[in-house]
Structure 1
Amino acid sequence: MTHFGRRAFTATAAGALAGLTVAGEALAGEIRAGRAPGRGGGAACREFRGMWLATVTNRDWPSRTGLTAAQQRAELIAHLDTAVARRLNAVVLQVRPTADALWPSPHEPWSQYLTGTQGRNPGWDPLGTAVREAHARGLELHAWFNPYRVAMHTDPSRLVADHPARLHPEWIVPYGGKLYYNPGLPEVRAFVQDAMLDAVRRYPVDAVHFDDYFYPYPVAGQTFDDAAAFARYGGGFADRAAWRRDNTDRLIREISGRIKTVRPGTAFGISPFGVWRNKATDPEGSDTRAGVQTYDDLHADTRKWVREGWIDQIIPQVYWNIGFAAADYAKLVPWWSETVRGTGVDLYIGEALYKAGDPAQPAPWQDPAELSRHLTLAGEYPEVRGHCYFSAKEVGTDRNGAMARVVADHYPTRVRPPR
């Protein structure tokens, strides 16, 4: 996701949630049987209630590298039990944070965020365990992949010797202090799809999930050097930006079709930055003044993917408070609602739980009721079918009680997801 915190998941939070497994399993049984009532008591009511569980830089889990397999598993289970306690029904687990894997992949190395050493077998199967344990608790497990990010540094020699990026140095581009695969190369797009789909073949994941990282966020004074690829493959495009958007379109369209072939019934979702384009740039854009526009800066035409039906669900990161001048939650939710209307694509709103109670954030985020007001406002738009919270650590620690307020005001019981 766009923003990261550093506070570790604490033993206190895990302990406070101990003993919830039995109750969670009972609720899971009710949900599977279709008996869990929805908001207002109706069994037919469904909505998405998810949380992201980030692994990059050990943001949420594991709390640090080098834990034993048993410790890693215990922390993972604690996060799943947290989701049950908060009456959520989906966990979006980051399983390929930096061209690596949290499962025994034949394509890419084990993630360094497990053991501290890229390529070292952690002694267990995190993704397989997560799917099994989530389903036992009535939770969907969405596998979250980052297609193009290779490393949080720019030194290929720090990658494991047989890493695909070292075997194919022509595939990578250093930019903004990180390494990326070049989306303009057809062989890169084919490889990253193969690597991600391996997990879909192996495990009954409920959805494949991408976040907002396609082409990287702009860094002042730096150029993403894909000139050679553009010279080779960019003929017929008006400019490099149009070619880049086409590259991203190809990734989305191609993997969408392949997911349906590999595991029919598995959903495909995208969680983009919350602003497609500002109205000042495009009359069809939102009434915002955001400094980043997904279409222009990340070369991701997210609105097109909805209209073309290439995705099943979209979770825009509407990470601003109601009344925020540059990007008002109260203006973006109706814009996204209009965007999905009549398309059959499910709209869930990404919520910035990590901002709640953070003293560095504006005053509205110090009010524990701010997030609850978000759900009340979104409830006025029938296209909004749920919410997803960034991220798991804050769902558990709940710095200022904002999550507890959401649960008290909006989640009287657990319900099933829409699909």
Structure 2
Amino acid sequence: MKIEIRTAKKSAKILVRYGIMNKVRKQGFGSKGVLAAAMLLLISAFCVYPWWETSAMGESDIKVKIDGETVVFQSGYGEPFIDANNRTLVPVRGALEAFGAMVSWDEANSMVIVEKDRTMVKVPIGNAAIIVNGVSVMNDTAAVIQNERTYLPIRAVFEAFGAGVSWDDSNRSVVVNSDGSGSDNNSGSGTNQPAVPGSTGNHSGSSADDKEMRAMWISYLEYMEMPKNEAGFKAAVDKMFDRSVELGMNAVIVHVRSHSDAMYPSAYYPWSIFASGTQGIDPGYDPLAYMVSAAHSRGLEFHAWLNPYRVTGYGTYWNQTAASNPVRIWQSDGDPANDRWALLHKGEYYLNPSVPEARALVINGIKEIVENYDVDGIHFDDYFYPTVNDKDASLCFDKPEYDASGSSMSIADWRRNNVNLLVKDIYSAVKQINPKVEFGISPAGNVDNLRRNDSYFVDIDTWMSKSGYIDYIMPQLYWGFERKDSSGNVAAYAYENNLNTWIKLAAKGDVKLFVGLNMANAGCNVSDNNQVSEWLRYNDIIARQVLAARATGKVDGFAFFRYAMFNSSVAKGEVENLVKVCK
């Protein structure tokens, strides 16, 4: 068979033997689609490491197996062969159609488009990259038209769909598993391994690796549904951790202090209401010790999750706080000097971030965790300052402290500095006790909101550009790919836009970037300014979010909110699709 393709803008000359053009017409393509369809019949390129020395194209004994079935290439599709550069090539259309993908040709942009299960992969000719759901993934080879044929970095394409790709030397077969299993997962440096065009690092592929964090958030909301006796609590923990492993997680982020309380015996905080059912009552065992041991026995990292300032709120109210709660003591001891160490704001109590004694309480509580338990990390979420209004005396929170401070900073920067003092001191305290323990924060995901002057007051720009604050940042990117703003445009905080914003922030320093994703959205009518919510139209959004983040090569892992949501019936499809890319 001899085929010649020459392209120049809108014209092309095609010489075809063995009736390829007739095959195209018989498949029902219109006259304008003949050229594109004929080209697709010719696209070949499964670029893998050379396994023999001959460079001549001839009768091939190389096979392609997809999910255990050997691909039979139709006449005219070509056969696997070794090219003059000692690269093994496999006809792409036959392979991808056997994989269940749709293949098309974008003539205007000179690229091949492959679609399957709502994943779209674009492969531009002459560009060392593929584009996976709009995210560019760099490769070590480019798609080219050479020697009258088009060659694609097809392994990267298969892996973009979550497939595993490997080389079976004994049977001289390229093996593709659509469930992601069996991948060689390297750069193709060995003689029995396929090359990996498009590999840019540990997290650029579509399947999980051992260095990538995949963490399950387990919050006090889970505790609310758990037994308050030792045997029942431990059994529930075992079930959660077993399920987390089953889902492909390698870490758990578990609430140990959500409301200025403790899931362990503390010298500074009362026992949590979630341990015994009553704040301040000893449950008779150490829940944290058991959870750390249970996690590690299953190969899970354990990150202790704390809310630094919250005292009351959903789950624990003022009438449920123990007499031993430090805030209740401050409010009832008759000493006016400590009355404002905690503040009542919109009906709930918070530690006052501007008070050194309040900061010391938080730091001491963290020290005792790192000193007494083999935790892998200390973790804060997005609960810092509440939303304030400095023009309203009932909502100005710690403005009296600012007024008394004589600070030359603006009140917003002063508040940010209060949080910075806490964060930096915690980092220092943790590292002095155990340098291996990581300290990380999971702020709200919309950067514009974080930089507002009336809420949060988290100084992400400082944390991520200067050393001595945090080891990792885990923004909560809880929006879909299609989230729109009020004008109907894709929002700045839609997933991919937001991801790129955080990647640029992370590039300012050495802080690890993890991404927080929200399984609570799955199957729900989440308001996103679309006619029908994206979360109702798709059941693979979170899986695609993981793939898109991995494709950047800049994301070190993920956390998923939260455990109970993974057992929701409406999230079943989303969970199943996520598991495919987590294991």
Asked if Structure 1 and Structure 2 have the same fold, meaning a TM-score greater than 0.5 normalized by the shorter chain, the answer is yes
CA distance in 2, matches of 1:113, 1:176: 24
Amino acid at match of 2:343: V
* Cross-structure match for 1:63: 225
Q: Specify the code of the residue in structure 2 equivalent to 1:273.
A: A
* Aligned counterparts, 1:4-403, within 5 A: 40-42=183-185, 45=209, 46-55=211-220, 59-64=221-226, 67-152=228-313, 156=318, 158-169=320-331, 170=339, 171-218=341-388, 223-233=395-405, 235-277=406-448, 292-296=449-453, 297-309=455-467, 310-326=469-485, 327-341=493-507, 343-359=509-525, 361-362=527-528, 363-366=533-536, 367-397=538-568, 399-400=570-571, 401-403=573-575
Alpha-carbon separation, structure 1, partners of 2:574 and 2:389: 33
Question: Which sits farther off after the overlay, 389-398 or 122-131?
Answer: 389-398
Aligned-residue sequence identity (percent) comes to 31
Structure 2: gaps spanning 5 or more residues: 1-179, 187-201, 203-208, 332-338, 486-492
TM-superposed deviation, 1:115: 2.4
Write the deviation string for residues 361-395 of structure 1: whole angstroms up to 9, x where unpaired: 55211221111121122122111111110001113
Q: Which amino acid aligns with 2:415?
A: R
Distance in 2 separating the partners of 1:306 and 1:72: 38
Give the corresponding residue for 2:68: none
The answer as to whether partners of 1:173 and 1:224 remain within 8 angstroms in 2 is no
What's 2:576 paired with?
Answer: 404
Q: Which structure features the higher share of helix residues? A: 1
Q: Secondary structure at the match of 1:52?
A: strand
Q: Which runs of 5+ in 1 are unaligned?
A: 1-36, 278-291, 413-419
Q: Give the aligned partner of residue 13 of structure 1.
A: none
**Superposed displacement of residue 110, structure 1:** 0.6
Q: 1:76 to 1:217 in 2, by over 3 A?
A: farther
- The AA in structure 2 aligned to 1:293 is L
Maintained 8 Å contact 2:526/2:535: no
Which residue in 2 is equivalent to 1:289?
none
Task: Report deviation, 1:123.
Answer: 1.9
Question: How much does 1:359 deviate?
Answer: 3.6
The residue type paired with residue 229 of structure 1 is E
Q: CA RMSD in A?
A: 2.3
Partner amino acid, structure 2, of 1:305: W
CA distance in 1, matches of 2:258, 2:270: 12
Q: TM-score, normalised by structure 1?
A: 0.80
Amino acid at match of 1:163: N
Instruction: Work out the number of aligned pairs and report it.
Output: 356
Separation in structure 1 between the aligned mates of residue 276 and residue 305 of structure 2, nearest angstrom: 20
Larger relative CO (CA 8 A, sep 6+): 1 or 2? Answer: 1
Are the counterparts in 1 of residues 477 and 498 from structure 2 also a CA contact under 8 Å?
Answer: yes
Secondary structure of the equivalent of 1:213?
Answer: coil
Report the Cα distance in structure 1 between the residues aligned to 2:478 and 2:182, rounded to whole angstroms: 24
Quick check: 1:271–1:317 contact (8 Å CA) kept in 2?
yes
Q: Is the 8 A contact 2:257 2:305 kept in 1?
A: yes
Match of 2:43 in 1: none
CA distance in 1, matches of 2:304, 2:181: 25
Question: Deviation string for 1:298-341 (max 9, x for gaps)?
Answer: 11111210111211111100110112124211101011111112
Q: Which one-letter code corresponds to 1:321 in the other structure?
A: G
Question: Compared with structure 1, are the counterparts of its residues 172 and 145 closer, same or farther at alpha carbon in structure 2 (3 Å cutoff)?
Answer: same
User: Aligned pair in 2 of structure 1 residues 228, 218: CA closer, same or farther (>3 Å)?
Assistant: closer
Q: Is the 8 A contact 1:276 1:301 kept in 2?
A: no
* CA radius of gyration, larger in: 2
Shift of 1:152: 1.4
TM-superposed deviation, 1:51: 1.1
Scaled by the length of structure 2, what TM-score is found?
Answer: 0.58
CA distance change for structure 1 residues 54 and 320 in 2, over 3 Å: closer, same or farther? same
Compare 294-303 and 321-330 and name the one that shifted more: 294-303
Displacement of 1:41 after TM fit?
3.9
Deviation sequence 1:33-54 (CA, Å, 0-9, x none): xxxx999443874211011100
Alpha-carbon displacement from aligned partner over 1:2-39 (angstroms, at most 9, x marks no partner)? xxxxxxxxxxxxxxxxxxxxxxxxxxxxxxxxxxx999
Instruction: Give the Cα separation in 2 of the matches to 1:338 and 1:388.
Output: 20
The alignment partner of 1:71 has SS state of helix
**Which range is displaced more, 118-127 or 221-230?**
221-230
